[in-house]
């Protein structure tokens, strides 16, 4: 019941009521990824393509979609990763959460949010003047 109420009152917890209804009515389960996200297809979009969507396992965090599923969701490939022996390319990195807005976010030297001083200017830069 608690999970349903979270989904009812918030859009970032799993799925909205509209997504739940559309999934129930037209959704065909295609597969699941290593994070527990479930992928569906069904119906058509405004351009006549088959609609594809994901129901997140937990918070709706787009960076939690692996590269193979990302390509399938965005109509870049027709075959879902579960229908083929998908192997990530060597340059595709494993998931890292989006740390923006957290204490672990990247803050360069000189940022007002760090204790370090701004690096000294080396003199190799000439400011533009009109």
Domain ranges of the chain: 2-83
Task: Please list, residue by residue across 48-63, b when 16 or more beta carbons sit within 10 angstroms of its beta carbon and e when fewer do.
Answer: eeeebbbbbeeebeee
User: What are 38-61's pLDDT values in tens digits?
Assistant: 899 887 888 888 888 888 887 778
Q: What is the dihedral of CA 67, 73, 77, 82, to 10 degrees?
A: 70
Measured CA to CA, the distance from residue 82 to residue 86 in angstroms comes to 7
Whether the CB-CB separation of 84 and 34 falls below 8 Å is answered with no
Measured CA to CA, the distance from residue 75 to residue 56 in angstroms comes to 19
Structure tokens at 118: 């701004």
Q: Mean pLDDT in the chain?
A: 79
User: What are 65-88's pLDDT values in tens digits?
Assistant: 888 898 889 999 888 888 888 888
pTM over 0.85: no
């Amino acid at each position: 019941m608690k999970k349903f109420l979270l989904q009812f009152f918030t859009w970032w917890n799993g799925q909205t009521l509209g997504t739940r209804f559309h999934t129930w009515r037209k959704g065909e389960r295609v597969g699941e990824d290593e994070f527990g996200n479930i992928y569906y297809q069904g119906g058509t979009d405004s351009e006549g393509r088959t609609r594809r969507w994901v129901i997140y396992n937990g918070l709706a965090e787009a960076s939690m979609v692996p590269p193979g599923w990302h390509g399938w969701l965005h109509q870049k490939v027709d075959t879902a990763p579960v229908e083929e022996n998908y192997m990530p390319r060597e340059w595709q990195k494993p998931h890292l959460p989006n740390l923006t807005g957290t204490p672990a976010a990247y803050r360069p030297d000189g940022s007002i949010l760090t204790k370090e001083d701004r690096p000294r200017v080396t003199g190799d830069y000439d400011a533009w003047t009109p």
